[in-house]
Amino acid sequence: MDKRSATTIASVLSEALPYLQRLNNKTIVIKFGGNAMTDDALKNSFARDIVLLKQVGVNPVVVHGGGPQIGKLLEQIGKESKFIDGMRVTDSETMDVVEMVLGGLVNKSIVSLINHNGGQAVGLTGKDGSMIRAKKMKITRESPEAQAPEIIDLGHVGEVTTIDPSIVNALDEGNFIPVIAPIGVGEDAASYNINADLVAGKMASVLGAEKLLLLTNTPGILDKEENILTGLDGKKVSELIKDGTIAGGMLPKVNCALDAVHSGVKTSHIIDGRVEHAVLLELLTDEGVGTLISS
Ligand SMILES: Nc1ncnc2c1ncn2[C@@H]1O[C@H](COP(=O)(O)OP(=O)(O)OP(=O)(O)O)[C@@H](O)[C@H]1O
Ligand SMILES: [Mg+2]
C-alpha cells in the first residue's frame, strides 16, 4: 500500500469517529431484502459490514426477506407464485417452502457469511423462543360492483401480534449477532409468513432501536419521474400512496418505516442494498444513500 492510500484510510477512519461515538452500544435493526441479496459479492460485503459494526460497539440485528429465493424454489417444483398488494398468497404447501427457504437456506447463508467474516451470528425464526407471535392477516378490497368489501384470503400470510425481545437481548449480551427469518407462530402453533419489513419495523420498536435500515433493490423511494426522494414524512408518504407513486413491495416497507419512527425509533432509512457498503455509508458517513423517513 502506498503512503497516500494509507493516509486516506487513516482519515476515513478518523472521520467515522463522531458516528461511532454516537452509535456506541446502540441497536440498529437492518432488514436485508431478498431482492438486494441476489449478488454473492454484495452479500459478502454486507456480512462484513455487519461484523465491523459489532466489532466497533454497535448492536446490529438482521432481519431478512427472501422473496426471489422462495419464488425460485416454487418455480423449480412447478408451483405458481401469486401476489396481492405486494404479498405472496401462501397456501399450506407454499408455507412449507417459505419455511424451508427462509428459515433454512437464506437464513443459514447469511449466518455463515457473517461467521466466515469473523462474527458470531445465530439464526432464528420467530418460532424460536416464541419470539414472533402472529395472526392471520385479513385484507379487504372494495370494488364498485360488489356491495360489501370483499375479504381476500392470503392463506398463511400473517401479521405480527407481539414480539418478545428477550432472546435477541440475550444474544446481544453474549456478543452474538441475531439473524431473523420473518416467520411467526400463531396461537394454534401454525406458521405464518410475514413480510420481513413488518418484522423489522416492529423489532426496531420493541428493541428501542436507534435506527431502522431497510435495504432494497432501488435507490430509495422514487417519484413518478424516477428521481430519488431523499426525505419524507408521514404527510408526504400518504400523498404518494394515494396518487399511486408508492406501490407493490414499497407499500409495506414505507408503512413500517413510518410506524417505527412513530413508536420511538429515531430514524428509518430505505436504502439501496445494491450499493457496496450501503450500511456503512449510511451509518458512518455523511453520504446518506437513500430515503430518510421521519415522523
Ligand atoms: N415509489 C417507489 N419507489 C421505489 N420502488 C418502488 C416504488 N413503488 C413500488 N416500488 C417497488 O418496490 C420494490 C421493493 O420492494 P420488494 O418487496 O420488491 O423488495 P424487498 O422488500 O427489498 O425484498 P423482499 O420482499 O424479498 O424482502 C422495488 O423494487 C419497486 O419495484
Ligand atoms: Mg418486500
Q: What is the pTM of this model?
A: 0.94
Q: Which three cell numbers stand for residue 65?
A: 426477506
* Domains of the chain as residue ranges with CATH: 23-293 (3.40.1160.10)
Give the model confidence (pLDDT) of 233-278 as tens digits: 999 999 999 999 999 889 989 999 999 999 999 999 999 999 999 9
Q: Which atom of ligand 1 is nearest to the CA of 214?
A: 22
205 beta partners: none
Complete DSSP assignment for the chain: --HHHHHHHHHHHHHTHHHHHHHTT-EEEEEE-GGG---HHHHHHHHHHHHHHHHTT-EEEEEE--HHHHHHHHHHTT----EETTEE-B-HHHHHHHIIIIIIIIHHHHHHHHHHTT--EEEEETTGGG-EEEEE--EEE--SS-SSPEEE--BSBEEEEEE-THHHHHHHHTT-EEEEE-EEE-TTS-EEE--HHHHHHHHHHHHT-SEEEEEESSSSSB-TTS-B--EE-HHHHHHHHHTTSS-TTHHHHHHHHHHHHHTT-SEEEEEETTSTTHHHHHHHSS---EEEE--
* Distance from Cα 217 to the centre of ligand 1, integer Å: 7
Residue pointed to by grid coordinates 431497510 = 214
* Distance from Cα 86 to the centre of ligand 1, integer Å: 9
Instruction: Choose which residue among 215, 250, 272 to substitute to test ligand 1 binding: the one with the highest number of ligand atoms within 8 A of its C-beta.
Output: 250
* Distance from Cα 218 to the centre of ligand 1, integer Å: 7
- Which residue's C-alpha comes closest to atom 4 of ligand 1? 221
Percent of all residues in the chain with a pLDDT value above 90, rounded to a whole number: 80
* Distance from Cα 93 to the centre of ligand 2, integer Å: 21
* Distance from Cα 102 to the centre of ligand 1, integer Å: 18
* Distance from Cα 17 to the centre of ligand 1, integer Å: 33
* Distance from Cα 211 to the centre of ligand 2, integer Å: 19
* Lining residues, ligand 1, CB within 6 Å: 33-36, 65-67, 86, 196-197, 216-218, 221-222, 245-250, 253
CA 278, CA 287: separation in Å to the nearest integer?
A: 10
Q: Which ligand is nearest to the CA of 34?
A: 1
121 beta partners: 177
Residue burial 253-284, b: 16+ Cβ < 10 Å; e: rest: bbbbbbbbbeeebebbbbbbbbbebbbbbbbb
| Dihedral angle sign, alpha carbons of residues 154, 194, 258, 131 | positive
- pLDDT tens for the chain, 295 residues: list them: 677 789 988 988 899 999 999 999 999 999 998 777 888 999 999 999 999 999 999 999 999 999 999 999 999 999 998 888 778 899 999 999 999 999 999 999 999 999 999 999 999 999 999 999 999 998 888 877 778 888 888 999 999 999 999 999 999 999 999 999 999 999 989 999 999 999 999 999 999 999 999 999 999 999 999 999 999 999 999 999 999 999 988 998 999 999 999 999 999 999 999 999 999 999 998 877 899 999 8
Q: Which residues contact 35 (CB under 8 A, 6 or more apart)?
A: 65, 67, 68, 216, 217, 249, 273
Give yes or no for a contact between 257 and 212, defined as CB atoms under 8 angstroms apart: yes
Q: Which ligand is nearest to the CA of 227?
A: 1
Q: Which residues contact 88 (CB under 8 A, 6 or more apart)?
A: 67, 70, 81, 82, 94, 98, 154, 157, 193
Q: Which ligand is nearest to the CA of 225?
A: 1
Instruction: Choose which residue among 216, 221, 271 to substitute to test ligand 1 binding: the one with the highest number of ligand atoms within 8 A of its C-beta.
Output: 216
